[in-house]
Structure 1
Amino acid sequence: MTADAPSASNVKAAAPVVPAQRARTATRYLRYGAGKVAGAAVSLLAVLVTGFFLFRLIPGDPVKTMTGGRPISAEQLAAYREEFGLDLPLWQQFTDYCGKALTGDLGTSYQFRAPVVDKISEALPNTLLLTGTAFVLYTLLGIVLGTRSAWRHGGLGDRLNTGLALTLYSIPSFWLGLLLIIVFSVGMGPIPGLFPTGGMESGGEEGFAYVLDVAHHLVLPVVTLVAVEYGQTLLVARSALLDEMGSDYLTTARAKGLRDDLVRRRHAVPNALLPTVTLVFVNLGRTVAGVILVETVFSWPGLGGLFYQALSVPDLPLVQGLFLFFAAAVIVMNTLADLVYPLLDPRVGR
């Protein structure tokens, strides 16, 4: 045996190194994930407290609003306040609300006389249909146009894409929605009214005709969300790919004779998508929470329209429940992004 040859004992001692390293990596990830989940729980608790006190600053008496301004006796007014717990001291209302919320009970809506959780469950599928469709479209559009703009940066296409994305991203969604209604629903000049002004369905349709009817109503709200949101994804994808384009591994790939398009798709884009993946998760939660204005403009029967309706009363349990749901959507998606990113880039969380 030569002096340089490893002995059998050394080989056996070196074997457990990889499992030990994996165990340390898993421990670090679990510690990192526990910290992120704990932070999310604290954020949700802060939202719970903030939502309770914030909406009690809204002027107006919920009981008088529910009666439609009709004159009622003091006894009737007192009975309504007792029914909804508004006669209790503020601190007791707060403790009751927090205790019930932690068990999943968000109270009973003043105007609908139904559990808040049930009202959210009824409107949630409509919001998911709108936001899910828009999310898929603007994510794909932003990534495709962003990577192409970066790969040919400085060209006419890059300047047009970036300029249009910045312009649309700066436009308020409700203003763009109203503009689309005026042009494509009401009709303007030679452009006839092609789409409904609002709502989710015309009524009376069944089967495939119903699906087409809903899709017809879906066009303008989806276009509004896509136009406003795709710009951010485009700009992040473009910036990330520009950072990767000067890397040595791309030069090596080209030196091996790979086509430029292959270098972009197989090497540059996968590495550049890491920041975009985080943005995708964040956007998903933010789109669900930020659909209030679009749903209100288009009278879409989702969570956004329900929130606006509850705010006008004010229906405190429903407003608080929706506020908590919207905030939870953002917090949960941010936390998922934090948990997924170390799996894509092991340097994160060390």
Structure 2
Amino acid sequence: MTADAAPPPVEEVAGRTTGAAVRGPRARTAAAYLRYGAAKLAGAAVSLFAVLVTGFFLFRLIPGDPVKTMTGGRPVSAEQLAQYRREFGLDLPLWEQFADYCRKALTGDLGTSYQFRAPVIDKITEALPNTLLLTGTAFVLYTVLGIVLGTRAAWRHGRLGDRIHTGLALTLYSVPSFWLGLLLIVVLAVGVGPVPGLFPTGGMESGGEEGLAHVLDVAHHLVLPVVTLVAVEYGQTLLVTRSALLDEMGSDYLTTARAKGLRDDLVRRRHAVPNALLPTVTLVFINLGRTVAGVILVETVFSWPGLGGLFYQALSVPDLPLVQGLFLLFASAVIIMNTLADLVYPLLDPRVGR
């Protein structure tokens, strides 16, 4: 700068200083989030590898010879059994089978089902929409029901409604889903005394229906398994939401909001509930991952043609490629959703991940 040059305005210097001061914390926050996200993604990768190892070795402990099971009890010569073993790679050393399994799994090839003689990925693709229809419908209902009732129970804690909701949630959450499903079948499908059977005992459709009649028929079959899942699962969301909101209710910012003259309902909806929902968000992501896994016992009880029923059917053979593929899918869905929850959580609460 020459002697005649005028110094920069004070406002410009202050603006540069302020901009640098703002960019500094933002850069540090972004770097901290990237480190946090990288650690979570690395943990997810390790978990997925652990699932590969567990899924391969665990199901080989199941008693029974899958090759003999495939023959259906028919008399088969030793040469034919050896041919089957070569066809499915069961004659190779265990470590070679594992290396081949990992290599194919990374490319999306989950092998060929022993009992269906079809690619495992095709059987999964065929059953996945049925599972998502059942568990997805139940997921939406029990999530909304749990959050709404949990919020009301916490805001009016100690009252009769709170005690009823909490007691009912604890009771239903402790009930085995298969037992509740069987009870609903006996009462509402078969009928007891003067109560007629109102719903199908199982399956996804009656068959022979088209168009709107088919949609209504599927919805009719959907009622009992969805009611079973909602009754058992909504209690967990209710209890987590209620507990988180009770922790927030004594906070100073709620007292300040009330002192400003805000209505109690407005204080709850705009201030208390958004902060209390953070633990519920994690639970929602976990449950969302479980929708892909389906509910094995419920699908089996109601003969629902989804992934859960397919898994049970594969275990009974045992159909190792199908069992391994389904186990990998179930565990991967939960791991991915947990990782997404971990990545979203710092965006909702900046204190996480620092």
Same fold (TM over 0.5): yes
Q: 1:346 aligns with which of 331, 350, 353?
A: 350
**SS class of match (1:16):** helix
Q: Secondary structure at the match of 2:277?
A: helix
1:204 aligns with 2:228: no
Indicate yes or no: 2:163 matched with 1:129.
no
Amino acid at match of 2:126: E
Report the residue type matching 1:336 in the other structure. Answer: L
Equivalent residue of 2:256, what SS? helix
Offset from partner CA, 1:313-340 (integer Å, 9 cap, x none):
1000000000010001110111011000
CA distance in 2, matches of 1:9, 1:211: 69
Are 2:309 and 1:282 equivalent residues in the alignment?
Answer: no
Q: Which residue in the other structure is 1:315 paired with?
A: 319
Deviations 1:232-263 (A, max 9, x none): 10000000110111111111111111111111
What is the deviation of 1:7?
Answer: 5.9
In 1, Cα distance between equivalents of 2:320 and 2:66 = 8
Which residue identity lines up with residue 131 of structure 1 in the other structure?
A: T
Unaligned runs of 5+ in 2: 1-8
Partner of 1:244: 248
Q: Which amino acid aligns with 1:175?
A: W
User: Is structure 2 residue 179 aligned with structure 1 residue 170?
Assistant: no
Identify if the C-alpha distance between structure 1 residues 172 and 287 changes in structure 2 by more than 3 Å, giving closer, same or farther: farther
- Tell me which residue corresponds to 1:154: 158
Indicate conservation of the 8 Å contact 2:85/2:91, yes or no.
Answer: yes
Partner SS, residue 344 of structure 2:
helix
Amino acid of the residue matched to residue 202 of structure 2? G
Q: Write the distance in 1 (CA, Å) between the matches of 2:66 and 2:259.
A: 72
Instruction: Return the letter of the residue paired with 1:135.
Output: F
Q: How does 1:87-106 map to 2 (within 5 A)?
A: 87-106=91-110
CA deviations over 1:26-71 (Å, ceiling 9, x no partner): 2211111111011001001001001101000111111111111111
Amino acid in structure 2 at the alignment position of 1:121:
T
State whether residues 191 and 198 of structure 2, in contact with CA within 8 Å, keep that contact through their aligned partners in structure 1.
Answer: yes
With structure 2 as the length reference, what TM-score do the two structures score?
0.95
For 2:316 and 2:110, locate their aligned partners in 1 and report how far apart those are by CA, in whole Å: 19
CA contact (8 A) 2:112 2:322 kept: yes
Q: Residues 271-296 of structure 1: CA distance to partner in whole angstroms, max 9, x if unpaired?
A: 11111111100111134335111111
Q: CA deviation at 1:20?
A: 3.0
On the 8 A contact 2:294/2:307 being kept in 1, the answer is no
RMSD: 1.3
Aligned residue in 2 for 1:61: 65
Deviation at 1:24, TM superposition (A): 1.9
Moved more, 224-233 or 86-95: 86-95
Which residue number in structure 2 is paired with residue 31 of structure 1? 35
Task: Compute the TM-score of the two structures, normalised by the length of structure 1.
Answer: 0.96
Amino acid at match of 1:15: G
Tell me the secondary structure at the aligned position of residue 15 of structure 1.
Answer: helix
Deviation, 1:6, is 5.6
2:269 to 265, 272, 279: 265
| SS of residue in 2 equivalent to 1:327 | helix
Structure 1 CA distance for aligned equivalents of residues 218 and 239 of structure 2: 32
Aligned residue in 1 for 2:239: 235
Distance in structure 1 (CA, Å) of the matches to 2:164 and 2:320: 46
